Structure 1
Amino acid sequence: MQTELNKVVTALQEFYARETFLFEKDLGERTLTHRLAVHLERQFSGWEVDCDYNRLGERRLRLPHGSIVSTDDELGKSVYPDIVVHQREIPNNLLAVEVRKASNHQPPEHDRHKLQALTDPHLWFAYAIGIYLVLGKKSMVADVYVGGVIDQAQSVWLAGRLKDAGLG
């Protein structure tokens, strides 16, 4: 897992080095998400990196009825992760990332609940790792989700790596 997290740190270093314009102009989260996905794609050779991807083959990613993540569909709870690292045609979901700008004043619960669900090993499409990122102009906050919960040890390790990289 730390191999994958190191790739995320490298992508974040490149993102912050090359995308300062996005923060200077206070562009939206979707723009940040897309540009971060570009940098992640360079690190995850052999994997697809997509934004707002809600499929596994022909099936839609849906949460069970009664789930805490809201959606507007009536048949189930559709899931649109901000960024995913996966293989599109087979059930091989490696990484789900939820991105927030530090200036976003909406409660973070929706993103956190989504990561809990996306990494829940009881769901057929579970991602091995989830990362919650709050991106500021010069630094960030991150939590790592594994097995449907925050993995405190991996979150502390990632925070240390980000600090060492000048991003924490």
Structure 2
Amino acid sequence: MQTELNKVIAAVGDFYAHEGFLFEKDIGERAITHRFAVHLERQFQGWSIDCNYDRLGERTLHLPHGTIISTDDHLGKSIYPDVVVHQREIPNNLLAIEIRKASNHTPLEHDQHKLKALTDPHVWFAYWIGVLLVLDQRGVTMSEVYVSGLVDEQQSRWFATRLEDVGLGRAR
């Protein structure tokens, strides 16, 4: 797992090295997410990297009814992960990433619940790892790692410490 998380950290580093303009001009989260995906793609050779991808094979991603996150819309707010690392044809879901600007005032819980659901092994399309990244102009202000439908505290601390060690974040 740390191999994959190190690739995410490398992508964060590349992103900040080349995309400062996005924060200087206060560009929206979707543009930031896309540009991050471009840098992530360089780290995951042989994998597909997609933004707002809502499929597993031919099936549309829907959470069970009664869950806190609405899934019956196509507004790009529910079960559309910001960025995924997967193999479309197999299908094989490796990594789901939710990205937020630190200035985003919508409840953080939405992204947290989405990552819990996306990594829940009882859901038919589960991703192996989920990562939450909260970004500002200087780096990652908050991060969490999700495994098996829960925040993995040990991996989250390791990830935050690694981000801090390379000058990209603050440890939790």
TM-score tier (shorter): over 0.9
Tell me what 2:116 maps to. Answer: 116
- Residues 1:156 and 2:145 are matched in the alignment: no
Residues 115 and 130 in structure 2, CA contact (< 8 A), matched pair in contact too: yes
Tell me what 2:90 maps to. Answer: 90
In the alignment, the residues of structure 2 paired with residue 84 and residue 72 of structure 1 have an alpha-carbon distance, to the nearest angstrom, of 20
- TM-superposed deviation, 1:79: 1.5
Q: Structure 1: which amino acid aligns with 2:164?
A: K
Tell me what 2:24 maps to. Answer: 24
In the alignment, the residues of structure 2 paired with residue 10 and residue 38 of structure 1 have an alpha-carbon distance, to the nearest angstrom, of 12
Work out the number of aligned pairs and report it: 166
- Residues 1:34 and 2:4 are matched in the alignment: no
In the alignment, the residues of structure 2 paired with residue 151 and residue 124 of structure 1 have an alpha-carbon distance, to the nearest angstrom, of 20
Percent identity, please: 70
Tell me the C-alpha RMSD between the 2 structures.
1.5
Tell me what 2:14 maps to. Answer: 14
TM-score for the superposition, normalised by structure 1: 0.95
Q: What SS is found at the alignment partner of 2:164?
A: helix
In the alignment, the residues of structure 2 paired with residue 52 and residue 72 of structure 1 have an alpha-carbon distance, to the nearest angstrom, of 15
In the alignment, the residues of structure 1 paired with residue 120 and residue 35 of structure 2 have an alpha-carbon distance, to the nearest angstrom, of 27
In the alignment, the residues of structure 1 paired with residue 69 and residue 16 of structure 2 have an alpha-carbon distance, to the nearest angstrom, of 30
Q: What SS is found at the alignment partner of 2:133?
A: strand
Q: Deviations over 1:114-139 (max 9, x none)?
A: 00000000011100000011001102
Q: What SS is found at the alignment partner of 2:70?
A: coil
- TM-superposed deviation, 1:72: 4.0
Moved over 4 A (4+): none
TM-score for the superposition, normalised by structure 2: 0.93
| Unmatched segments (≥5 aa) in structure 1 | none
| Unmatched segments (≥5 aa) in structure 2 | none
